[in-house]
Structure formats: C-alpha cells, structure tokens
Chains A and B, each alone.
Chain A
Amino acid sequence: MDQLLQQLINALSLGGIYAMLALGLAIVFSIVGLINFAHGDIMTFGGYGIFLSMVFGFPPVAALCIGLGAAVVMALAMERTAFRVMRGADVISLLITSFAVSEILKVLFQNGISARPVPISFPASWSGSYQIGGMTIGVAPTASILVTILSLGCLTFVLRRLAIGMAMRAAAEDFDMLRMLGVRANRVVAAAFAISGLLAGVAAVIWTAQRGSVDPMMGFFPVLKAFIATVLGGLGSLGGAVLGGFVIGTLEVLTQAFLPDALAPYRDAIVLSAVIAVLLVRPDGLLPARSGARS
C-alpha cells in the first residue's frame, strides 16, 4: 500500500509537468491554431537561463527566477519573430515553421553553449526526503506537485478573473469576433505566448531541479509527451490538456512500477496503445474543446 501511494505521488509529480507543458501548447493552439513544437526549446532555454545564472554566481532561487524570465522572453521573441508573420497560415505551414524554429534553437544551444549536458548543482537540501508513516517522500517531487497546483491555480485566476484572461478565452472561442469587438489581436496572442512561456519556465525549473542537468534536447521528449496529452485531452481544450497530462504521467509511472520484467521494454508502446484506445472511443479527446479540432 505504501509503495502504491509513493508511486501515485511520483505520478502526480510527473503528470504535473506534462500538464503544464500541455497547457502551454493548448493555450497557443486554441488561439492561433499553432501546435508549437518549439515549446520544448522554450523550456530548454529556461533551463539554460538557470545554468548560466548559477555560472555567473547568482544564488539558486534567483537563478530559478531568471530561468522563468528567460522562458517568457524566449516565448515572446518566438511569437514576434517567427509566428506573427505566419499568422493566418494553415496548420501545416505553422507546424513546419515551429519545427524549423526548434531545429535552429537546438543548433544554437549546441554550438553556443555545449552539445553535451551541463550540470546544475542545487543545494543538497533540495534533494532531501521526509517520512510520512512508512513512506519516504522526496522534497523535489513534493515541491513539484505544490508548484504545479499553485501554477494551475494562478492560471485559472488569470483566465477567469482578469480581462486579458477573458479575452484569451474569448479568442479561443472566436478570434475574429473578438477582433471585431476592438480587442487588439497582437496583445492577446502575445499574452498567450507569455503564459505558455511561463508554464514552460515553471516546467524547466522543476525538471532541472529533479534531473540536475540541461542539454539541447532537454525539452524535446517532455513536449512530445505533452503533445500526446493535449490530443488525449482534446486538442485546444485547456482542461483537457491538464487532464491528459496527468493521465499520461500516471500511466507512465504505473507501467514503470508494476509491469512484469518481460513486458518492461514495451512500456511506451503500452502507454500509447492505451491512448489510441481512448481516442477510438472518444475521438475528440477526454474533454473536447467546444470548437476544437478533431484529434
């Protein structure tokens, strides 16, 4: 029982990261129809922001804040330089643009910083653990879950209570109507990218704190999983993205923990088969967007 509870905590920790990344993807997709595969590179840039800050002697907490800021700046720069000129283009063109941006950034990271992972050495206390009953729980997964809950709570507040958040939700419903009502499109889109960058930055903070290194490919694999999560949840659905993230994280952890040894190499295949099975039953995802595209 203790082991199951420990694994559920692990699942929440991993699922939370996927949920934040998936939400970042979904926010941008719901407004401009872009599946931003360079989202992982925003996360990576945030990680390098943390690394470079620590190299230049900033204390760890300040380095984390700089990493967050770096991710937001990168997301805004990406929107301004690459995606604004492509606004209105079809999904395929946007997709190819995002792949190109991603590749360019990877090469820049590799040649400008290092092709190999660079270490981030956080204080030992951040890698500590504590006991509850018979369970040993890590500080990092706990912090990860708390930060995820806090981030999603703040985002909910922004989307539901602030004018810019309501404008973004309206844009997700009908962007053209929103513009006809006099809301500045650039501002709404930039805000969407900034929030998506912030979420990627938070994911970068948790990721680097848990993994201890940054490399040019750091963001690629989690964003791939996050993309699967957005499809599973319902493309363009914000709630669906969060749910999809937690479902994928839980499936990954539980299959890692409890699959028999003989089936272990098929872990990813089993997780993806489960996703396909769900999509066969609910082709629009678990929580489809009201005007969402079919997965």
Chain B
Amino acid sequence: MDTSDYAIDVRGVTKKFGTRTIVNDIAMQVRPGEIYGFLGPNGSGKTTFLRMLCGLLTPDGGEGKCLGLDFRSESAEIKKRVGYMTQKFSFYEDLSIEENLDFIARLYGMSQRKVAVQKSLERLGMVERRKQLAGTLSGGWKQRLALAACLIHEPKLLLLDEPTAGVDPKARRDFWEEIHKLAADGLTFLITTHYMDEASRCNRLAYIAYGNLLARGTVDEVIKAGGLTTWEISGGNLAALAEKIRGLPGVEQVVAFGTTLHVSGRDAEKLNASVSPLISGAQRWTKIESGLEDVFISLMETAKDNFS
C-alpha cells in the first residue's frame, strides 16, 4: 500500500506540557475504512494525540499526513474533513437537537444544510425529538446526538474520544453496530476506549501508556506479542490462596473473577514452579488463553518501571 493511501500516516508525534512529555514519538498508520482502537490507561496521552491530529493542539514534533494532508501545516483543511467527538458532551445544552445540528452544519458551510440536518435526524431516529433540548437528553441519546453532529459534514475520518463512557450496554452495542455500518461505507475510525469488549471489535489496536506506544496490531497479534501465560484456578478457599501467591517469583498478576482466580506471568516455567506446589486437592488448575486485559495490565506495569 502506498503511503498516501493511508487515512492516518504519522511518525514521531511528540507533545510536551512544560517538562512533561505527554506523547512521546508515536507513529500510527490507519487504513481507510478501518476501525482502529486506541487504548491506554487514564492520562496516557490518547486524548492529546487525537487533539493533535485534528489541529486542537500544536505538536512539538512529528510529521506525516492525515487524509493526505500535512497534519502540522494543513490543519484548517483537515478540520473540514474530520469529525471529532469529544470525551465530554460538548454541544449546547440550551439548544434543541435540531438547533445543534443546524449550528454545526452552518459552521461547516454545508450547501444543502436543511437536507443534511433532516437526513441526520432520520438516520438517528430523532425526528420526533428534534425540538427537545439537548440538556434534557439521557446519556445514550446525548452520545447519539454527538455522533450525528460529527457526521453531518460527511467527514472521511472520525476521531472518537471514549464515545461510550457512561452509556448502558444496549446503547453501546447499537453504537458499535452503527460504527461498523459506517466503516463498511468507507469511513475510517480512530476510537479510544477502556472497554476490552470494544477493543476486540476493532480491526486493529494500538496500546499507549505514559506517552509511549507499547503494542499494536490485531487483537490476536497483541495478545501473542504480550507473551503472557495465564492459569485459571477454581475450587475453594481462593482468597487465602491469592494472598499466598501474590509476590512469588514469576507471578505478575493475580485477579479474582467471581469463583475463579487468574494468575499470569511472562515466564511460564517460573510461574509454574511457584504456584503448582500451593494447589491443594479440591482446587483445579488449568492453562487458559490470556485475555487482552491481562496483556494490557502487564504492559502497563512494565511501562511504569521503564518510563516513570
């Protein structure tokens, strides 16, 4: 694939606030029509990276293209082609749904404004609620309105910053259905999230912690690259066992899941040697595939040692 065919193709992106480096030398390539997940702990620089892509923040370093435009010098042009959905609801609560959409359509200078607003209302099933004030909408509806407003100028790329935070499971599932539909039509998505189920619905992922990119690829690739071995222990008296295991050589994570305990570590032999003697008769010990969450937490712990 030629570099200019990527929707996002940036390298060395860096942002500093004072002496703190928030985003450190990050490269990212996203293909058109792809749903790209962007994960990382709070304060890891995800929002800062998105803001730099759409011209809200000036990067301190880096080069590359966004929709074929230089992301540092042509941010005014990029803004016209990108939809950015902020983490916090950022439309006017004292304007109605329709007035908000109309306002955004005007800012983008749409020629067929009324038609675009009407279409947007129809697609999101808000035609009857068009006169309702945005401030009175529930979380799920606010999120749908925000997505509709981001789409109104028919962007080529959508940057969604934790779009489903605080939204119920049903609304979240509907939201992802919508995203997959739009991606099938050729729209590119870069989505930040904390939810592992959402991460696994992305085509590819990138994991960032303390400003550094730690892993990227498909879900399977990321898990494989994590190199983690995980055991599941079931049976009685797990709380006491967890206390004993924690801190032993080779044991990196001990996580309780209701009636089971997950124990993971990167050195499979050490882990085995530490844990297996402690397993008593009634307890069962099976090797399972590591989850994305286990891998991310492991990556984050390592990153903490390396960068902080």
A and B are interacting partners: no
